[in-house]
Structure 1
Amino acid sequence: MVDIKKIRAIDIHTHAEEPCGCHADDGYDDLQSTMAKYFGAPWTHPPTVPLTAAHYRHQNIAAVIFPVDAERETGYRRYRNEEVAQLAADNSDVLIPFASIDPHKGKMGAREARRLVNEFGVQGFKFHPTMQGFFPNDRLAYPLYEAIAETGKPALFHTGQTGVGSGMRAGNGMRLKYSNPMYLDDVAVDFPDMPIIMAHPSFPWQEEALSVATHKPNVYIDLSGWSPKYFPQILVRYCNTLLRRKVLFGSDWPMITPERWLSDFEKIEIKDEIRPLILKENAARLLKLA
């Protein structure tokens, strides 16, 4: 169990990589190596979950960790939610497990969500509309959302263009339109008691994301996937004012390390009294750790 008093921050956005690394036979290694080059990531092979835990333990940071179930749309093999949850349980002093379920699975996915919470201690769910090939407000996803809402756990959605597939032929077949944050406005209306986290500065839809987060009480923003030095001024302004209690630190590990993100965060114009909220307190409250 994470000791909220001892850690210095909570990273709300980290990716679990399979123990065997990348998969030459399904193209996953091409995606990962291209992304690593795009982000200037420091590793040769993606770190496993235990290596991720060791890195975060050394940094004295807790991390929400999840796989991405995009097997149907991309062909990339699914990293089993149960396995990630067990590895997180083995490192529960620093890791907080989220799961990922393709919303096209409908009621079968809803059943899996309930089971993962009840039997494996999963604390939230990750969606990647660009990789999973769906609009977040498509009714096909609603049985899964209903199950998540029943559990009271948050749903985290990739938004905007953060580099995944960038530079690859046809953008690796990924369609950016699915990750416009405005589609989450419908989800927030239809599921007002389900916490929703919009992941990343939502380029090129930053103002849409800010409008949804300020208008809907259950919507938050995480700041992962971008170095803070590239944050648009309007995002910094909202972090300091209207959204000071609804903005969350996230790195997008392993593409961006938490120490790199935090170093760049120190250099931007965030008020001193706001920094603890973004780095730990907002996430602790949302995840019911405090």
Structure 2
Amino acid sequence: MTLDLARLAAIDVHVHAEVSCHDPEDPVMAQFFDAASAYFKAPRERPKMPEIAQIYREQNIAFCLFTVDCESGVGAKRVSNYEVAEFAAANSDVCIPFASIDPRKGKMGAREARDLIENHGVRGFKFHAIMQDCHPADRVGYPIYEVIAEYGLPAIFHTGHSGMGTGMRGGGGLRLKYGRPMLVDDVAVDFPDMKIILAHPSWPWVDESLSMALHKENVFIDLSGWSPKYFPPQIVRYANGQLKHKMMFGSDFPLIRPDKWIEAARGIGFKDEVMPGIMKDNAARVLGLAG
């Protein structure tokens, strides 16, 4: 079965596959999961991919699924991109496969990216500079970006504060400075054919993301990682105006459930006429699912 846009109620562009179906939970990541669950007041147990698909299928929502490769920055074994892609292929009615490759893997990472795109149906990529301990515009990652740009695929970049590491000693060794949205601006300039999605409302640098989405044709924003009831007011103002075609629904599942995000979004002032774009239509265009 393939994804049927007309049938879908929404597309969630930000869903994490945090545990493998085959391998045990990585002990290093377990420490970060403990802290993030406390920060988000979310259940500690991480759902496996079949459970994620069931939740989204029941709600008639498609989702972009990815892991975070932070093997160099944190020393945690990643969930395989190939496992994510294989799962998505078997659940293509709701699941859109994204991949994550540590930028420090350079040309070897670029080889993996090309293989994932050409042979395994991957439709986009996820980068988390804080977890990867790498400036988004560090040239070490450019070979990977070159492959993504060649195929005109989107790349999600974490921006703003990170629940990962919050409350841990020394923040778990993570450096928040790499979450500043403006650090991605060089990437947007150097790779104009790569669609860049700035993840989250980007607090405490909200206005930087809004400025970049206004300025760069290839920059978009996903609204994941926060309940909409806590959005800074300028997010709603720009979503209702100049950036109505640039903002997309994302939950950050499993830390925020999609139904809870949608329920909160209905009460914060988004105009009725912009909600279809936020919930589905903008993502469909960025993902190449619609013209």
Q: Deviation digits for residues 95-122 of structure 1, max 9, x if unmatched?
A: 0000000111111111111110000000
CA distance in 1, matches of 2:71, 2:39: 23
Could you tell me how far 1:27 is from its partner in structure 2? 2.5
Q: Which consecutive aligned stretches of 4+ in structure 1 deviate over 4 angstroms post-superposition? A: none
Match of 1:248 in 2: 248
Could you tell me how far 1:67 is from its partner in structure 2? 0.6
Q: Deviation digits for residues 173-196 of structure 1, max 9, x if unmatched?
A: 100001110011111111111100
CA distance in 1, matches of 2:135, 2:18: 25
Instruction: Give the structure-1-normalised TM-score.
Output: 0.97
The gaps in structure 1 that reach 5 residues or longer are none
Match of 1:223 in 2: 223
Number of residue pairs the alignment of both structures matches: 287
Q: Deviation digits for residues 97-155 of structure 1, max 9, x if unmatched?
A: 00000111111111111110000000000000000011111111111111110111111
Q: Deviation digits for residues 33-65 of structure 1, max 9, x if unmatched?
A: 221121122x34100011100000011100000
CA distance in 1, matches of 2:120, 2:262: 31
Query: What SS class does the counterpart of residue 72 from structure 1 fall into?
Result: coil
Q: Deviation digits for residues 229-279 of structure 1, max 9, x if unmatched?
A: 010001111111111000000000000000010010011100000000000
Match of 1:7 in 2: 8
In structure 2, what residue type is equivalent to 1:186?
A: D
The gaps in structure 2 that reach 5 residues or longer are none
Q: Deviation digits for residues 68-119 of structure 1, max 9, x if unmatched?
A: 1001111111111011100111111110000000111111111111110000
Are the equivalent residues in 2 in contact too, given 1:114–1:151 (CA < 8 A)? no
Do structure 1's residue 167 and structure 2's residue 128 form an aligned pair?
Answer: no
Are the equivalent residues in 2 in contact too, given 1:162–1:203 (CA < 8 A)? no
CA distance in 2, matches of 1:16, 1:58: 18
Instruction: Give the structure-2-normalised TM-score.
Output: 0.97
Are the equivalent residues in 1 in contact too, given 2:33–2:44 (CA < 8 A)? no
Match of 1:145 in 2: 145
44-53 or 61-70, which deviates more: 44-53
Match of 1:35 in 2: 36
Query: What SS class does the counterpart of residue 93 from structure 1 fall into?
Result: coil
Could you tell me how far 1:31 is from its partner in structure 2? 1.2
Match of 2:101 in 1: 101
CA distance in 1, matches of 2:140, 2:78: 20
Equivalences for 1:1-290 in 2 at 5 Å? 1-18=2-19, 19=21, 20=23, 22-23=25-26, 26-41=27-42, 43-290=43-290
